[in-house]
Amino acid sequence: MNQYVTGAVIKELREKHQFTQAELAKKLNISDKTVSKWETAKGYPDISLLEPIAKLFGISVTELISGNAVNNVNVSANVMRSKFYVCPVCGNSIHGMGEAVIQCHGIILAPCQEEETDENHKILIERVEDEYYVRIEHDMTKRHYISFIAALSSDKLQMVKLYPEGNPEARVKMNGVKKILFYCNRDGLFSISVVKGIDDKQNAYDDIKERKDLEETAKLLFG
């Protein structure tokens, strides 16, 4: 693992639950000196103790290792506040609508920080009957590609998985879609509002002619 539980985390949790070092030690069948060593960074809990410690504090082992407790605040989560996590080892893409501790291949994943689309990641959004046809300008090589396209509305996520050497495009049902996101395996998560992508074409990118050419091609293919 790239992280391990620290004494500071254990101390914080112990004090939150109003345990003394001796009380915590008794519950774990260890000496209070051992707990003291953890909290003064002179030692670490044996891996066999992680589950009992987590259970005692009412959290998961992953939360214990990450040092971040997950609060139950997701009941009213809105899809528009979605968070995406991507594993740098296997490329696994995970979606969440609230706070979470996500782990893959021993790595605690941070939520991707989305950026607005740019000149290197141009996007075309075209209305086709009751769908949006979405296309990203990208070479889609084996080493550099778009791995997914997602469409968000207030109550629904539509996510299309893409693959290297495939086409960087997708069709999604309109159904109140407000934002389109896509993930580049090298450059991260990008987003654009549907209104800007379709209606604000003059301001979306500097290369207006190239964008118009793309639109005309899409109309010929899907018009």
CATH of residue 217? 2.60.40.730
Domain check: are 207 and 126 in the same one?
Answer: yes
Domain check: are 126 and 50 in the same one?
Answer: no
Structure confidence at residue 109 (pLDDT): 85
75 assigned to some structural domain: no
**Residue of higher predicted confidence among 150 and 60:** 150
Domain check: are 120 and 187 in the same one?
Answer: yes
109 assigned to some structural domain: no
Asked whether the beta carbons of 141 and 168 are under 8 A apart, the reply is: no
Domain check: are 211 and 127 in the same one?
Answer: yes
84 assigned to some structural domain: no
- The winner for highest mean pLDDT among 19-28, 36-45, 109-118 is 19-28
79 assigned to some structural domain: no
83 assigned to some structural domain: no
**pLDDT tens digit sequence for 99-135:** 777 888 878 788 899 998 888 889 999 999 999 999 9
> What does the alpha-carbon distance between residue 15 and residue 76 come to, in Å, rounded to a whole number?
30
Structural domain including 142 reads 115-222
- Written as one letter, the residue type at 35 is V
Q: Which of 50, 66, 82 represents a domain boundary (last residue)?
A: 66
74 assigned to some structural domain: no
Structure confidence at residue 206 (pLDDT): 43
**pLDDT tens digit sequence for 136-169:** 999 899 989 999 999 999 889 999 999 999 999 9
Structure confidence at residue 208 (pLDDT): 47
CATH of residue 36? 1.10.260.40
Domain check: are 60 and 122 in the same one?
Answer: no
How many domains does the chain contain in total? 2
Domain check: are 218 and 119 in the same one?
Answer: yes
Residue 203 has pLDDT above 80, yes or no: no
Residue 33 has pLDDT above 80, yes or no: yes
Structure confidence at residue 99 (pLDDT): 72
- Measured in degrees and rounded to the nearest 5, phi and psi for residue 106 equal 75, 10
**pLDDT tens digit sequence for 63-105:** 787 776 555 455 555 788 889 999 988 889 999 887 777 888 8
Please give the full DSSP string across 85-148, using - where no structure is assigned: EE-TTT--EEEESS---EEETTEEEPPP--EE--TTS-EEEEEETTEEEEEE-----SSS-EEE
> What does the alpha-carbon distance between residue 75 and residue 53 come to, in Å, rounded to a whole number?
27
